[in-house]
Amino acid sequence: MLLDGIRVVSFCHFLQGPAAAQYLADMGADVVKVEPVDGAYERRWSGANVYVDGISGFYLCANRNKRSIGIDLKSADGREVARRLIASADVVMENFRPGVFARLGFSEEALREINPALIYASASGFGSTGPMAQKPGQDLLAQARSGLVSVTGTPEGGPTPVGAAIVDQHGGALLAMGILGAIIRRMREGLGTRVEGSLLNAGIDLQGEALVNFFAGNLSREVLSRESNLATWFHAAPYGVYPAKDGQVIVSLCDPADLAVALDDAALRDAASLDRFRDRDEYARRLRAATKRFTRSELAERFDRHNVWWAPLHYYDDLLSDPQLQHAQVFRRITVRGHPMVLVNHPNRYDGGVPELRVLALEIGEHTRELMAELGYGRDEIERLVASQAVAASELAEANLKAS
């Protein structure tokens, strides 16, 4: 595996940090998830109130291939366990609000005394310094402050947040990318690195093309208006969603002459002289009138024949039957405690293969005893710390998990 032999100790919760750690875990890193003794927040909350036999869907989406240890970081014994873990690590990750980890005794300086070549990665809402540093950070808040909400939505509904936690997920990917760069630097130079990511920066990064066009063009916010149903404010028509007799299709970039021929439409042929950016609403109106005369399958045949870039508009319940997604093994069917469910696989393929599902810690501290033994604790000392609740441990529950 790509990161075999790399240990990552993750003090992360919610989504941005756990997602970053999961990317590394999927690539083979030994990721240790440090949880409070009563469990990480994401075990107790889930979107749409989805739980699989008591296991949160929110937890399951970003915590595979990690070993779990429960530690009370407010107890002296618990902090000592954490320090030993940190001493054994190549990477430490945390996404507490800035300053919280330091107040627990784990400032960057303190960590480097334990492990001088450590890679210290932190994620936050708005960065560790600056006027917003202590504000609560969350995906929706970052979407709003980064301007993303202002450029989505419809003319009727106005600005609308994106319907998934894309800033959290992208922030996780960016943090993992930074950690990988730091690992290469450490291998080459023997130096540790401070890697810092934030939701706000991730939200801005998502919009690089749009923002460069906006500022380079010295434009004003009026250009961002949602008068058109096109997908972005900066693309020329037909870039958007169009009706069919039995649903909707997406039309992206194409030669307008090809599109007019594909649909055999006089109004589109006459529109060839339009400036498809300045007159984008008029062009889109004509195209909507043309596409709604056909079914999606009829449009597919015509568009494919004439090299029109298009896609069907899929809903979530269409995805499992999509032939390309099936071929690419994008989803993984597993059984959790006898209940079937679907996970989203790691997005990359390595030598043609999908990273395996090695472990999914269903219980808090499934690997506490195993990890503490690796750190040099004897059996009696481990049980004393479990009894004092400095650490939390449960029996391994791997019998409750299998991949279909």
DSSP helix, strand, coil percent of the chain (3-state; round to 5): 40, 20, 40
The structure's pTM equals: 0.95
Query: What is d(CA 13, CA 344) in angstroms, rounded to the nearest whole number?
Result: 19
**Closest listed residue to residue 34, CA positions, set 18, 20, 51, 56:** 18
Contact 71, 81 (CB under 8 A): yes
User: What's the pLDDT tens digit per position in 268-296?
Assistant: 999 988 999 999 999 999 999 999 999 99
Identify the pLDDT of residue 404: 44
Look at residues 308, 223, 198, 208 and name the one whose alpha carbon lies nearest to residue 258: 308
Q: Which two tokens stand for residue 110?
A: 């303190």
Packed helices 379-387 and 76-87: angle between N→C axes, nearest 10 degrees:
130
pLDDT one-digit tens code per residue, 298-322: 999 999 999 999 999 999 999 999 9
pLDDT at 348: 98
Alpha-carbon distance 64 to 123, whole Å? Answer: 19
User: Which two tokens mark 165?
Assistant: 């936690």
Closest Cα partner for 72 from 43, 97, 105, 98? 105
What are residue 335's phi and psi, to 5 degrees? -120, 125
CATH topology of domain 7-204+352-402: Rossmann fold (3.40.50)
Residue 396's pLDDT band (cuts 50, 70, 90): low
Question: What is the average pLDDT across 201-210?
Answer: 99
Angle between helices 280-291 and 256-263 (to 10 degrees): 30
| Res. 399: pLDDT tops 50 | no
Q: What is the pLDDT of residues 103-154, one digit of tens each?
A: 999 999 999 999 999 999 999 999 999 999 999 999 999 999 999 999 999 8
Separation of first and last alpha carbons in the chain: 22
Mean pLDDT of the chain: 96
Rg (CA), the chain: 25
DSSP annotation string for 201-230: HHHHHTTHHHHHHHHHTT--GGGG---S-B
Domain chopping of the chain, boundaries: 7-204+352-402, 240-313
Q: Residue by residue, what is the 3-state secondary structure of 150-169?
A: HHCEECCCEECCCCCCHHHH
Asked if omega into 312 is within 30° of 0 (cis), the reply is no
- pLDDT at residue 397 is higher than 90: no
Check pLDDT > 80 for residue 229: no
Q: Which residues are catalytic?
A: 168
Q: What percentage of residues in the chain have a pLDDT greater than 90?
A: 94
Rounded distance between C-alpha atoms, residue 33 and residue 64, angstroms: 10
Indicate the pLDDT class of residue 263, thresholds 50, 70 and 90: very high
Long-range pairs, 369-375, Cβ under 8 A, ≥24: 369/393, 370/67, 371/32, 371/67, 371/69, 371/85, 372/69, 372/81, 374/88, 375/81, 375/84, 375/85, 375/88
CA atoms of 302 and 305, how far apart (whole Å)? 5
Can you tell me the distance from the alpha carbon of 70 to that of 87, in angstroms, rounded to the nearest whole number? 17
